Amino acid sequence: MPIITLPEGSQRTFPQPVSIADLAADIGPGLAKATLAGRIDGQLVDTTFILEQDANVSLITVCDPEGLEILRHSCAHLLAMAVKQLYPGAQVTIGPVIEDGFFYDFAFERPFTPDDLAQIEARMQELAAADLPLSRRELPSDEAVAYFDQLGESYKAELIRAIPAGESLSLYRQGDFEDLCRGPHVPSTGKLQAFKLTKVAGAYWRGDAKNAMLQRIYGTCWPDAKALKAYLTRLEEAGKRDHRKLGAQLDLFHFDDCAPGSVFWHPKGWILFQQLIGYMRTQQERADYVEVNTPDVMDRGLWETSGHWFNYREAMFTTTTEDERVFALKPMNCPGAVSLFAQGLKSYRDLPLRMAEFGKVHRDEPSGALHGLLRVRHFTQDDAHIFCTPTQMQDECAGTIGLVFAIYRDFGFDNVAVRLSTRPANRIGSDETWDQLEGALSGALDRMSIDYRINPSEGAFYGPKLEFVLRDAIGRDWQCGTLQVDLNLPERFDISYINEQGECERPVMLHRALFGSLERFTGILIEHYGGLFPLWLAPQQAVVLNISEGQADYAQSVLKALKKARVRAAIDLRNEKIGYKIREYTLQKVPYLLVVGDEEKAKGCIAVRSRAGEDLGSLPLAEVIARLRQEAQPPGSEGSC
């Protein structure tokens, strides 16, 4: 007679073992219909799971994050089933859940076309409408290999061969389709009501370019049609805001195969990039940082001492000199900062020492992972390393967290989530050290009353970290800034300071990046603003447009006055109709269009028009300049332009 304890503390007793589905039905028909799975003492199970003894049980619906993930994983299986029915020669490989959806990789003799995707989606709709029940069974790994070999599914068999022999594996069946999976899954395909296949792309088997090229079909799945429609609308808006498209339209940057994963900044893009650096430099100066710079290329021995050579070697670019010394382009700035700290004797009176660096780093990202400004091989970090005493550690964490939130607010990111990534399996340092470091981060968050989520085992190999996740104007999340605490690198490099007792003591080292990668943050901003940058960031703040040749000289004098006032302005004296010019610069998203005709020339005025099409009237030149200078002040600039 199992006693079932529900999350709110209530209990239900049954005269015999019951399934998760039976438990939901006993509570109410509405919950029975909505339940997708259960959680028993922390473990997710299918609704068919039988409760034979006392347990703490939660019922999972689409309102739970786990429920949405189950829905999407089941939809990936529905996709695979539809593909196998339509194209029996296709082999299935893997089909995981990803952010906002799922994908499944297939080995097939020809590329899938948009027409194929339409047919596959239509078959998925038919299979969902059939409301096929899902059932689970277990097989030893050797029997599972033989089973999938018999089906001609060599990729599945290869996956299972990597699992220890004799280990029991679970398979899920719906109709005539059966797939390897840990589960859990929805009770039946009828639960899958709102889904859409979005695209097809190439993908290497197991992500290795040496392996066969597969075809990856992407899809999305949501609890209902309304949520699906909202997502597709957001996806359409994201397409319009794509930073690669806007980068070309606004003449900001380009990429070239001669330097894959590296940005060629055009003049306008470089202005934008430098505005970000200038803003961050100002914020750091106010927070008592000093700015430093370290070499791009350093000896292998440094990276061995830091641990990067053994934990990060596959992502490092290396070179060997004629005297056989091995050097690496730095993938991180940390060892250089330690080297700076080690120069000269440090006292407790010198701490905290906050060293900032706009450091160029180089990482050998897989070519298939490169994505415009968002994933590059050569980028700039707004890095900083804070050396402090153990008693200062939590205060420094709190100060950095406060700075992060203030900076993100200046860019319009008011929704910031925090994740605490804890010790990974592959790490350096003792458990006692990790306890101290993780406690400093969680303690700072707790005292600032900031909610956070724990990411187990996702910390760096040398220390735990906080990740700051921004939500942009159209509801997408971006992981940007990080804060890590570290006692391991100071130990490995044997650095110290003289404490109040005149003894040598190890400093605590904080690793901090607020934008993260400036290239990536620039890409995020382009999409967040849709190219409509606030005036202080806009590469070109105004353009002077004459109506006819008769105002050319006056237009030039206006431009000269604007530039003298440090307004980033340009001029267009082409013999084109003024309406044509206005349309062109509106598409280029220039914030202010300054039109001069005979009347403006006679009065010493300018007809001011915003990029939104708002007519601000004819204003004296001095008033226009004052207005632009005021609006162009960076956030928190305290009146300086």
Cα gap 12→113, rounded to integer Å: 53
Strands 326-329 and 318-320: antiparallel
Q: Is 363 a catalytic residue?
A: yes
- Is 385 labeled as catalytic in the residue annotation? yes
Angle, to 10 degrees, between the axis of helix 141-151 and the axis of helix 154-161?
A: 160
Query: Which position among 363, 476, 492, 568 bears the catalytic label?
Result: 363
**Catalytic residue of the set 275, 283, 381, 551:** 381
Tell me, yes or no, if 224 is annotated catalytic.
no
β pairing state of 453-455 and 326-329: unpaired
605 is in an annotated binding site: no
Q: Which two tokens stand for residue 574?
A: 């082409």
Q: Determine the Cα–Cα distance for residues 280 and 609; give it in Å rounded to an integer.
A: 31
Which strands sit side by side in the sheet containing 477-486, from one edge to the other? 290-291, 353-362, 378-388, 508-517, 477-486, 465-471, 416-421, 453-455
CA angle, 130 then 131 then 135, to 5°: 125
Q: Is 334 a catalytic residue?
A: yes
Would you say 334 is a known binding-site residue? yes
Q: Compute CA distances 253 → 247, 261, 429, 522, 534, whole Å.
A: 6, 12, 43, 11, 19
Identity of the residue numbered 220:
T
- Catalytic annotation, pick one of 511, 512, 609, 611: 511
Amino acid symbol at 20: I
> Residue 44's beta-bridge partner residues?
39
* 244 counts as catalytic: no
Burial class of residue 210 (count of CB atoms within 10 Å of its CB; 0-12, 13-18, 19+): exposed
Residue with tokens 């330097």: 259
Q: Do the annotations mark residue 258 as ligand-binding? A: no
Would residue 560 show up in a list of annotated catalytic residues for this protein?
A: no
Least Cα distance to 192 among 99, 20, 96, 73 occurs for 73
The catalytic residue among 385, 492, 568, 609 is 385
383 is catalytic: yes
Nearest 5°: the CA angle 310, 313, 317 is 150
**Catalytic residue selected from 383, 392, 472, 589:** 383
Residues annotated within the binding site are 334, 385, 511
Q: Which residues are catalytic?
A: 334, 363, 381, 383, 385, 465, 511
Residues annotated within the binding site for Zn(2+) are 334, 385, 511
